[in-house]
Amino acid sequence: MQSGWFRPGFCRGLLLLFLNGSLLQAEDWPQWRGPARDSTWREQGIVQQLPDQPEILWQTKIAGGYAGPAVANGRVFVTDYVTSDNVKVANFDRQEFSGVERVLCLDEQTGKELWKHEYPVKYSISYPAGPRCTPLVHEGHVFTLGAEGDLIAFEASSGQIKWSVNLPQRYQTKTPLWGYAAHPLIDGNKLITLAGGPGSHAVALDWKTGQELWRTLTVKEQGYAPPLIINAAGIRQLILAQPEGISSVNPETGEPYWTEPYEASNGSIIMTPVQRDNLLFVGGFNNKNILIELDQDQPAAKTIFRDRPRAAISPVNVQPLVDGDLIYGFDQNGFLYAIDFATGERLWQSAAPLNSERPLGSGTAFLTRHQDRYFLFTELGELKIAQISREGYTELDSMPLLKPTNVAFGRDVLWSAPAFANKCVFVRNDEACIRVNLAAPQ
């Protein structure tokens, strides 16, 4: 005889509830390119088709910037730049602009401002709309890096400053032409960031105190490529792409392992390197590209090809993604390419993501993988879903999210990376940050 509470239907319901809760568990987006820093959205229960108009859950007014939002522990962190100067200029010269950089903490459910920190900054950079780096949330802290090198650690819940450092002042250097744009990396007890200056191209700081743990390499310019940790020859290696070379150092000490020569045009090495097995690829502006073979027995490397014309890609604003033996990425001409990783051969190109059949200088659409498809957030302010494979690019759906509010190459653009978290996409332009529902209908 069954007891009153033990009923098969009731138990099946509990089991389904448990399974659904496990499968549909929400996921934050606490840093540039997501939890694993690989531009992959792993949540289940996401829409297969986009509505004609976005379901905007909230919209919060903000000011200018290229920095994408970070989403963690029920909060959204975003940085901006408030100024009365005209910063809608796509210049390549250093000019001076006066304003205030801000760090904003918003409630994830409502968009309401929970705390704010602001500090005066004089910009002397090209593309002066605002900060570039997505905030980084880690163990109750949020770290921000401003366009002029103001690195600040906050208590994420209250906004209390734990420590701060101005990188150009501490390391006797100057801000890169396009500002500090290399997203810092947490590795164990270390926050690793590009600094610049003699012997301090990259530095590791204790993320709890800001105390320097090591510094490494001397280069003429910092570049803009975020640092990367890889495993090769059974050894953890920190890869630093800089305008004069691709270098590997010991992430615990900063001790150099190897450097392969590279020559970036205008110092514009921007993408973080991508790895597949024992191969490492970096591409840069003006058809600068390099494929490196990693030694499998010791921390060493050799170049397979360099600056191959009409091959590989020259990324500017968009980090390429590795999918099997292919690289998908946007070239400086605004076309999406599929590249054979091992040879650099271009398999196909598509202008469809940016709705243009002609080249667009630094054309931008941020790629995010989701299961067997990709989400693209374009410089037109559109969100797209597409199938991307060895056979080509097939667009499945699209909808507008925000209007482009900045300028580049004579056109309106939106160059800020999205965050995908908790079945929503969070995006910003120079006027607002919004949360848009992407949950599949129940």
3-state helix, strand, coil in the chain (%, to 5): 5, 45, 50
Return the number of other C-beta atoms located less than 10 Å from residue 215's C-beta.
Answer: 18
Q: How is the chain split into domains, by residue range? A: 28-166+365-442
pLDDT tens readout for residues 196-239: 999 999 999 999 999 999 999 999 999 999 999 999 999 999 99
**351: exposed, middle or buried (Cβ count in 10 Å: 0-12, 13-18, 19+):** middle
CA distances from 78 to 112, 195, 432 (A): 13, 22, 11
**3-class DSSP state for residue 12?**
helix
**What's the pLDDT band for 25 if we cut at 50, 70, 90?**
low
pLDDT tens readout for residues 340-388: 999 999 999 999 999 998 989 999 999 999 999 999 999 999 999 999 9
Rounded mean pLDDT of 91-118? 94
Q: Can you tell me the distance from the alpha carbon of 367 to that of 341, in angstroms, rounded to the nearest whole number?
A: 18
Helix (H) or strand (E) holding 306: strand 301-306
Residue 13 has what pLDDT?
45
